[in-house]
């Protein structure tokens, strides 16, 4: 029996000796590679925090002491140490274990939201609440230096520093990376701390020499010790934390358990807010991850060969690839186009543009709000910024889109990758909110391409707009074959037209292919169908409303939240035009979706061809029944 088999909770880790702890760390890394190679998931970040997570659980007593993870994808080791090793066989699968902390799984998990730069605010609130309630509990916030580039982190630090009684320990997991190498002024400061040990060396030399002089040495050392802050500022930049009023410990080798436990114990005994700065190596112990220059195998999308780290499935062309290639081409044609991302240069495909035009590429770190407003400033100065982020992260920058970019009619293009249902990463990563929240922004134009050809076309259309915000959204995964329209009529493409004009289906983006399947199924039932792709779903053009007048039933289908989405806008437009037609709006229900593969979720929520066809057929039958039903009201009144 291995050591890992004996771990059912944190208490079992506390009972191990130094030799056993070293063996356990090795077993955990082997286990992680073996399990994630079968399911996919976040490998690199967890390989880098094995010793750090072990040390936290040996010094603090979870769940009495609360451990809050920033970007919870680094919680796999925590899950192992809290008795959930068996669940890894179902990691990120339907009904299985979440890839992030989950309150439903364990009392040891606190925060499920995996959006970065939030943990310190949660931790601040928890720690303050325990003070108010008179509870003797510590709160540990594990935050990566990538997350420290987010503005919300600094808002939290400013408030944490003022809460002198809070038993809050902030552990900075400094691996020099977030998804890609961490950028910005803070990253430079932390690099300085990693590489400049002179402060401790100089201070120790002064201490040893002066304390050897019995009469004047100790008082003189105490006086000289008062220059500590100035010496720190001169030799290493940890003074920036002390300027905020926070106790600083470190930097500490994040793979040295003894050093980690010593530092964490000091922080715990301080009984006030403390920052413990640890230096870790992302992907440590697994050569393919250590040698992976792009992101140290940060997130593996599916099964891979554990010997080489290579994905087993053949690599299909994905939506991101199409965007990457077209943006590089646009960059060659126009020198006013610049690219901005928020710590996701490779996941969003901007690395191609960055390689070709490094001086026109800006990675702002995990700071989506800043990205949008900085883009607005660039647009004001005559550039056309293309901001590429995940759809779910645009939620964080809504005010900046509304008041900073749209209000000033800035020519900014937002490209939202992973829009709609993303699947395995769960509720916080589904990009299901943008279509609804962006509908309220005046002047904004929004497109959802149905295929690669339309993505290229609409990206080119978007960057031609100089007086409004334009948005393109596309889903995760392989791009489908191009779907040519029967014809383009005004603002929309007619994708299918058969039989009588019974049903008009407005299919948005990737739902076009699904709705063409629906049309075939309805046609087999003798129901006439017209399928249209509105191309630009905001603003909704009046010619689409006029087309609806000729049909008996109007249906909208979108891979987005149905409340406030394109279907809702179409229904409102019909009502405003006094077009009294029955409508059916299909979209993602407004609920937090559990992890599962995208096709599984789409089927469960009724966004696949069979359930859609079934519901539409039933509605058509009900309409026909109502039309055939004799009207007894006239006879009764006679």
Residue-by-residue DSSP string for 141-198: EEEETTGGGSHHHHHHHHHHHH-TT--EEEEEEE-SBSSSB--SHHHHHHHHHHH--H
Of 92, 396, 418, 454, catalytic: 396
- For residues 276 and 142, membership in a common domain is answered with yes
- What whole-number distance in Å separates Cα of residue 152 and Cα of residue 139? 18
- For residues 572 and 609, membership in a common domain is answered with yes
Average pLDDT taken over every residue of the chain: 84
Q: Is the peptide bond before 251 cis (omega within 30 degrees of 0)?
A: yes
SS3 363: strand
Where do the H-state alpha helices sit in 464-565? Answer: 511-524, 542-549
- What whole-number distance in Å separates Cα of residue 356 and Cα of residue 328? 7
- For residues 262 and 339, membership in a common domain is answered with no
Are residues 505 and 557 in contact, defined by beta-carbon separation less than 8 angstroms?
yes
Does any domain span residue 211?
A: no
- For residues 460 and 504, membership in a common domain is answered with no
- What whole-number distance in Å separates Cα of residue 282 and Cα of residue 175? 6
Question: Residues 64-101: pLDDT tens digits?
Answer: 999 998 877 788 899 899 988 888 888 888 878 787 78
Number of structural domains in the chain: 3
The last residue of a domain, from among 290, 306, 329: 290
- For residues 382 and 431, membership in a common domain is answered with yes
Which parts of 391-528 are beta strand (E)?
413-417, 445-447, 470-473, 487-489, 492-498, 503-507
Which neighbouring-strand residues pair with 362? 340
Output DSSP code: residue 69.
E
- For residues 248 and 388, membership in a common domain is answered with no
Q: Count Cα neighbours of 321 within 13 Å in the Cβ-side half-sphere.
A: 8
167 is catalytic: no
> What pLDDT is stored for residue 83 in this prediction?
86
Domain CATH for 283: 3.40.50.970
Does any domain span residue 309?
A: no
Does any domain span residue 203?
A: no
Nearest to 418 by CA among 384, 439, 442, 394: 394
396 is catalytic: yes
Domain CATH for 599: 3.40.50.920
Of 66, 167, 282, 454, catalytic: 282
- What whole-number distance in Å separates Cα of residue 321 and Cα of residue 312? 19
Nearest to 178 by CA among 115, 220, 97: 115
Does any domain span residue 80?
A: yes
- Pull the structure tokens for residue 289: 């991850």
177 is catalytic: no
- For residues 123 and 84, membership in a common domain is answered with yes
Q: Is 602 exposed, middle or buried (0-12, 13-18, 19+ CB in 10 A)?
A: buried
Of 51, 368, 424, 558, catalytic: 368
User: How many other C-beta atoms can be found within 10 angstroms of the C-beta atom of residue 357?
Assistant: 17
- For residues 135 and 243, membership in a common domain is answered with yes
> What pLDDT is stored for residue 49 in this prediction?
87
Does any domain span residue 213?
A: no
Does any domain span residue 21?
A: yes
> What pLDDT is stored for residue 319 in this prediction?
95
Does any domain span residue 224?
A: no
> What pLDDT is stored for residue 160 in this prediction?
86
- What whole-number distance in Å separates Cα of residue 495 and Cα of residue 1? 62
- For residues 52 and 104, membership in a common domain is answered with yes
> What pLDDT is stored for residue 150 in this prediction?
74
Q: Which residues of the chain have pLDDT under 50?
A: 178-188, 190-203, 206-207, 210, 213, 215-216, 218, 220-237, 632-638
- For residues 548 and 442, membership in a common domain is answered with no
Residue-by-residue DSSP string for 329-360: HHHHH-TTEEEEESS-TTTTTTHHHHHH-GGG
SS3 551: coil
* Residues in contact with 199: Cβ distance below 8 Å, sequence separation at least 6, in sequence order: 231, 232, 235, 236, 238
- For residues 501 and 557, membership in a common domain is answered with yes
Among left, alpha and beta (phi > 0; psi -120 to 50; other), residue 297 is: left
Among left, alpha and beta (phi > 0; psi -120 to 50; other), residue 598 is: alpha
- For residues 286 and 325, membership in a common domain is answered with no
Number of continuous H segments (helices) and E segments (strands) in the chain: 27, 18
- What whole-number distance in Å separates Cα of residue 612 and Cα of residue 77? 42
Full domain range(s) for residue 523: 493-627
The last residue of a domain, from among 441, 473, 505: 473
Provide the terminal-to-terminal Cα distance of the chain, rounded to the nearest Å: 90
Does any domain span residue 430?
A: yes
- Pull the structure tokens for residue 147: 């997350």
> What pLDDT is stored for residue 300 in this prediction?
63
* Residues in contact with 373: Cβ distance below 8 Å, sequence separation at least 6, in sequence order: 400, 404, 405
Question: Residues 491-538: pLDDT tens digits?
Answer: 899 999 988 889 999 999 999 999 999 999 999 999 999 999 999 999
């Amino acid at each position: 029996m291995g050591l890992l088999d004996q771990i059912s909770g944190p208490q079992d880790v506390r009972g191990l000796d130094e030799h056993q702890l070293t063996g356990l760390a090795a077993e955990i890394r082997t286990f992680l590679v073996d399990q994630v190679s079968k399911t996919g998931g976040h490998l690199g970040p967890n390989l880098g925090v094995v010793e750090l997570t072990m040390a936290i659980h040996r010094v603090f007593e979870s769940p009495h002491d609360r451990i809050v993870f920033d970007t919870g994808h680094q919680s796999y080791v925590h899950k192992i140490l809290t008795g959930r090793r068996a669940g890894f066989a179902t990691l990120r699968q339907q009904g299985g274990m979440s890839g992030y902390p989950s309150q439903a799984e364990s009392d040891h998990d606190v925060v499920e939201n995996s959006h970065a730069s939030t943990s310190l605010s949660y931790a601040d609130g928890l720690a303050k609440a325990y003070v108010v309630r008179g509870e003797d509990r510590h709160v540990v916030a594990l935050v990566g230096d990538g997350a420290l580039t987010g503005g919300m982190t600094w808002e939290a630090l400013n408030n944490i520093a003022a809460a002198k009684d809070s038993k809050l320990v902030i552990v900075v997991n400094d691996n020099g990376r977030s998804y890609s190498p961490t950028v910005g002024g803070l990253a430079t400061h932390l690099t300085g701390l990693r590489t400049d040990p002179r402060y401790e060396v100089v201070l120790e030399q002064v201490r040893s020499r002066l304390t050897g002089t019995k009469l004047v040495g100790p008082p003189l050392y105490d006086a000289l010790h008062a220059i500590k802050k100035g010496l720190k500022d001169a030799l290493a930049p940890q003074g920036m934390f002390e300027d905020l009023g926070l106790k600083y410990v470190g930097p500490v080798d994040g793979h040295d358990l003894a050093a980690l436990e010593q530092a964490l114990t000091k922080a715990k005994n301080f009984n006030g807010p403390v920052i413990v700065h640890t230096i870790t190596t992302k992907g440590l112990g697994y050569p393919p991850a250590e040698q992976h220059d792009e992101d140290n195998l940060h997130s593996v999308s599916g099964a891979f060969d554990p010997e080489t780290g290579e994905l087993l499935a053949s690599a299909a062309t994905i939506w991101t690839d199409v965007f990457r290639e077209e943006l590089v081409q646009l960059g060659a044609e126009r020198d006013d186009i610049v690219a901005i991302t928020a710590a996701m240069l490779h996941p969003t495909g901007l690395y191609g543009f960055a390689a070709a035009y490094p001086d026109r590429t800006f990675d702002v770190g995990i700071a989506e709000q800043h990205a949008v407003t900085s883009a607005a400033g660039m647009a004001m100065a005559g550039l056309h910024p293309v901001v590429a982020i995940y759809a779910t992260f645009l939620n964080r920058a809504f005010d900046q889109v509304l008041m900073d970019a749209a209000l000033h009619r800035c020519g900014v293009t937002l490209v939202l990758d992973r829009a709609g249902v993303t699947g395995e990463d769960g509720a916080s990563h589904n990009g299901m909110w943008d279509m609804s929240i962006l509908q309220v922004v005046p002047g904004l134009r929004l497109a959802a391409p149905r295929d690669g050809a339309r993505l290229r076309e609409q990206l080119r259309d978007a960057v031609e707009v100089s007086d409004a915000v334009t948005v393109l959204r596309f889903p995760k995964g392989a791009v489908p074959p191009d779907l040519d329209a029967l014809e383009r009529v005004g603002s929309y493409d007619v994708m299918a037209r058969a039989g009588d004009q019974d049903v008009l289906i407005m299919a948005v983006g990737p739902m076009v292919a699904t709705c063409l399947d629906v049309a075939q199924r309805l046609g087999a039932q003798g129901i006439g169908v017209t399928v249209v792709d509105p191309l630009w779903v905001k603003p909704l053009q009046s010619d689409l409303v006029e087309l609806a007048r000729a049909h008996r039933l109007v249906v909208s289908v979108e891979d987005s939240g149905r409340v406030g989405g394109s279907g809702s806008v179409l229904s409102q437009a019909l009502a405003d035009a006094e077009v009294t037609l029955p409508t059916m709006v299909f979209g993602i229900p407004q609920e937090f979706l559990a992890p599962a593969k995208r096709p599984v979720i789409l089927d469960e929520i009724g966004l696949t061809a069979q359930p859609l066809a079934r519901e539409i057929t039933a509605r058509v039958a009900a309409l026909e029944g109502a039309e055939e039903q004799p009207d007894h009201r006239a006879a009764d009144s006679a």
